[in-house]
Structure 1
């Protein structure tokens, strides 16, 4: 992004991390432009927390990934790249038995 470091207080990533070519790079960039003590909100489809990808999802994943979305992504695998700079304050199942989740995190000050 063409923004200076620490530009925004709040960032919303709505259904974006599972469709971009590089989710880790995207999340890292979000954190770069987020001010210290700023917050980001992610709403997207991820493998439910603490669970493995379901058989149906495992079968459909390559097909849907080819169409531009990844239904088998684990948010915490992506979050590892920024876990030293951020802390998760909420991880809430929103719909479809936890497939869609609302995750909120703060950038450490």
Structure 2
């Protein structure tokens, strides 16, 4: 693991307990509805990348087989608790999306929710998703990105160093461009909150 990845992992281990509080506040808005909509599109053998504290586990459909990864041991501890609470069967593993320990073309569906803001090398991570996704599979993402509105984008750029220092997440990632550079096709791009939070459906 690179030094950047290791420092990010340590940061998320440190703040894992506080994530439960901040996420509960976020879920009071529309985020829970957006998460549920993403998971309603899942089918077959599914990989959730960046399971975190397990905020999506309650939305797992009974019809799918889910593997879920995170590179923070502390986050996974909370995710295991959530799986037990909701009675969901899920294969939880400690793993870095930049170096997935899965064979090529393993999954029918790959889901990420607010993950690629914190992956140290997003292109490397996205190429790994493409590798383990079946040729006729799908990658579904709920991600926040840098706004294309000039003033909003500049504000996000100015605030980004502070946010990264506190929680390790970049608020100005150009995830759409990163997907294109990774040769992943964006089939559906739906704006959920301005042009900052997006629901993306991709193919390879």
Q: TM-score, normalised by structure 2?
A: 0.47
Decide which of 109, 113, 117 is 1:10's aligned counterpart.
Answer: 109
Residue 87 in structure 1 maps to residue 188 in structure 2: no
Query: Equivalent residue of 1:80, what SS?
Result: helix
Partners of 1:28 and 1:81 within 8 A in 2:
no
Q: For residues 27 and 59 of structure 1, what CA distance do their matches in structure 2 show? A: 26
Q: Deviations over 1:38-66 (max 9, x none)?
A: 10011111023x54452321220111122
Matches of 1:62 and 1:11, distance apart in 2: 29
Bigger shift: residues 63-72 or 32-41: 63-72
Summarize deviations over 1:7-47 as a string: whole Å, max 9, x none: 00000011110011111111110110000011001111102
CA distance in 1, matches of 2:129, 2:138: 10
Aligned residues: 103
**Partner residue of 2:170?**
70
Whole-Å separation in 2 of the counterparts to 1:102 and 1:73: 15
Superposed CA RMSD in Å reads 1.5
Runs (5+) with no aligned partner, structure 2: 1-99
Q: Which has a greater percent of strand? A: 1
CA distance in 2, matches of 1:101, 1:38: 20
Larger Cα Rg: Structure 1 or Structure 2?
A: 2
The higher relative CO (CA closer than 8 Å, separation ≥ 6) is in 1
Match of 2:142? 43
Counterpart of 1:100 in structure 2 is 197
TM-score using structure 1 length: 0.84
Structure 1 unmatched runs, 5+? none
Structure in which a larger fraction of residues adopt helix = 2
- 8 A Cα contact 2:144 2:198, kept in partner: yes
